[in-house]
Amino acid sequence: MNLTLYALTDAYRLALQELPEDATSEQVGLALAPIEGQIAIKGQNIAAFVLNLEAEAEAIEGAAKKLKARADSINRKADGLRGYLFANMQAMGISEIKANDGTFKAKIVKNPPAVEITGPIPAEYEKVIPEQRVPDKEKIKDELKAGVIIDGARLVQGERLKIE
């Protein structure tokens, strides 16, 4: 009979309850020994399975760390090459390069306008986050786009390389 650990635990409790109150230790041992042996075997199997699962999880986590490190390295290389291409396209005044087969193109595009804080700004353009005041760049950007002049802030628009 192959019972679950839960069923064996219930059988053990039931066997204890069914023992007479004046049972000797020998009677208790005889009544519980078969169940205890099955519980021990089941417990060993479960413990071994837990160790296997933990070892598998550790191996997967190790592999994931190696893959993450490799992906980070590849992304750094791609970023470096993207910067290299961007700088050289800018230096030569080239705004777009197309693949001969038309599968992709690299082009220099404008970034969305961003706020650059150049000095102290009026308090009305600050927001308070826990324990400090910081520029509210969204509010400043909206105002600058609307033509409001704000001391200490200006709109800047950089460029980036887009490969699509």
| pLDDT tens-place string over residues 11-51 | 888 888 888 888 888 887 888 888 888 888 888 989 999 99
Q: Are residues 40 and 66 in the same domain?
A: yes
User: Which pLDDT value is given to residue 155?
Assistant: 94
Domain tally for the chain? 2
- Average per-residue pLDDT for the chain: 92
CB 153 within 8 Å of CB 140:
yes
Res. 137: pLDDT tops 70: yes
Q: Are residues 51 and 112 in the same domain?
A: no
% helix / strand / coil in the chain, to the nearest 5?
A: 55, 20, 25
**Residue 62 in tokens:** 């190790």
Higher pLDDT, 128 or 149: 149
Q: Are residues 79 and 113 in the same domain?
A: no
Question: How many other β-carbons are positioned within 10 Å of the β-carbon of residue 121?
Answer: 18
Instruction: Assess if residue 97 is contained within a domain.
Output: no
φ, ψ (nearest 5 deg) of residue 130: -40, 115
CB 113 within 8 Å of CB 154:
no
Q: Are residues 68 and 142 in the same domain?
A: no
Q: Which residue has the tokens 């309850």?
A: 17
Q: Which contacts of 81-87 are long-range, i.e. CB under 8 A and separated by 24 or more positions?
A: 82/161, 82/163, 83/161, 85/161, 86/160, 86/161
User: Which pLDDT value is given to residue 39?
Assistant: 87
CB 126 within 8 Å of CB 119:
no
Q: Are residues 20 and 81 in the same domain?
A: yes
What pTM was computed for the model? Answer: 0.58
Q: Are residues 65 and 132 in the same domain?
A: no
Highest mean pLDDT among 3-17, 25-39, 118-132: 118-132
Q: Are residues 42 and 83 in the same domain?
A: yes
Q: Are residues 69 and 125 in the same domain?
A: no
Res. 72: pLDDT tops 70: yes
Q: Are residues 80 and 125 in the same domain?
A: no
Q: Which residue has the tokens 């230790």?
A: 25
CB 159 within 8 Å of CB 110:
yes
- The residue segments making up the domain with residue 74 are 5-90
User: Which pLDDT value is given to residue 132?
Assistant: 87
User: Which pLDDT value is given to residue 1?
Assistant: 61
Interval 98-117: pLDDT, tens: 999 999 999 999 999 999 99
User: Which pLDDT value is given to residue 59?
Assistant: 98
Task: Output the CA angle 51-56-58, nearest 5 degrees.
Answer: 95
Percent of the chain with pLDDT over 70: 99
Res. 141: pLDDT tops 90: yes
